[in-house]
Amino acid sequence: MKTVRVFKTKDEEGNEFVYEFRRPSQSIISKAELVSRARYSEAFRAGVLVNAEVFKALRERGLWGDEQETESTALREKIASLEEKLRDEGLSNEDGLKLVDELRAARLEQQQHNSIVSNVTDSTCESIGNEERNMFYASACIFNKTTGQKVYKDLEDFKSRLNELSTVESYREATIASLEVLIGKELPSDLSTQYTENKWLAERNLLESEEEDEGTEEAETEGVELPKKTRKKRTTKVASS
């Protein structure tokens, strides 16, 4: 696995910079764990749920039950079936593009269906602790590739600049770097490129034509790159009654 992740970003004036995330030393990893545990404990004392309590709380509130779980399973199976069909090497471009549309629609339906769960799990003690860890990694491991200087003084400096696009993207890179270590595989900055449908489009050289078709819509937001990974979230408490 590469020792650095290089990525381009922009400041508020649109000036482009090349940053790099350098893999943390053992000393930084140890400090990150302490920061994460402290934030976890703080959230726990404030009454924030832990992961094990999420589904119990949702069931007690009537927000998630057997019916929702069955539908979620059906959507996962539908997506898996469509992905398998798309892997057929004998598939024509025309039929493949139809499957791509079906897959994207199914993923969106799954995302919307599971949103009640994801919204809660994004604000558990574990997720809050993980977020703090990744912010610490970003504050300690992001460097300006051109100058070689560290971008953020410390964690507090990083948090004070969360309104900056470059800070949001630095957090994204730190988060993906952590995921790489977890799964033992290098990942791109845009994780959606790993979707079966996007891999298929790339293999068939259809991504470029697709971008041309969407050119009008993209022009409306040209020059404004929205973060694919959410910026720092505020803690949302969900108490079981």
Give me the pLDDT at residue 24, please: 97
Q: How far is CA 227 from CA 13, 95, 167, in A?
A: 17, 32, 10
Give me the pLDDT at residue 119, please: 93
Amino acid at 116: I
Give me the pLDDT at residue 2, please: 86
Q: Please give the radius of gyration of the chain, using alpha carbons only, rounded to the nearest integer.
A: 20
48: left (phi > 0), else alpha (psi -120 to 50), else beta? beta
Give me the pLDDT at residue 207, please: 83
Alpha-carbon gap, residue 197 to 212, rounded angstroms: 18
pTM reported for the whole predicted model = 0.81
Written as tens digits, the pLDDT of the chain (241 aa) is 889 999 999 988 899 999 999 999 999 999 999 999 999 999 999 999 999 999 999 999 999 999 999 999 999 999 999 999 999 999 999 999 999 999 999 999 999 999 999 999 999 999 999 999 999 999 999 999 999 999 999 999 999 999 999 999 999 999 999 999 999 999 999 999 999 999 999 999 998 656 555 543 333 333 323 333 443 333 333 333 3
Give me the pLDDT at residue 219, please: 33
> How many CB atoms neighbour CB 211 within 10 A?
11
Give me the pLDDT at residue 241, please: 34
Alpha-carbon gap, residue 230 to 171, rounded angstroms: 9
Alpha-carbon gap, residue 208 to 1, rounded angstroms: 29
Give me the pLDDT at residue 211, please: 56
* Three-point CA angle 145, 178, 83, nearest 5°: 110
| Those residues with Cβ within 8 angstroms of residue 35's Cβ, 6 or more apart along the chain or in another chain | 132, 133, 136, 155
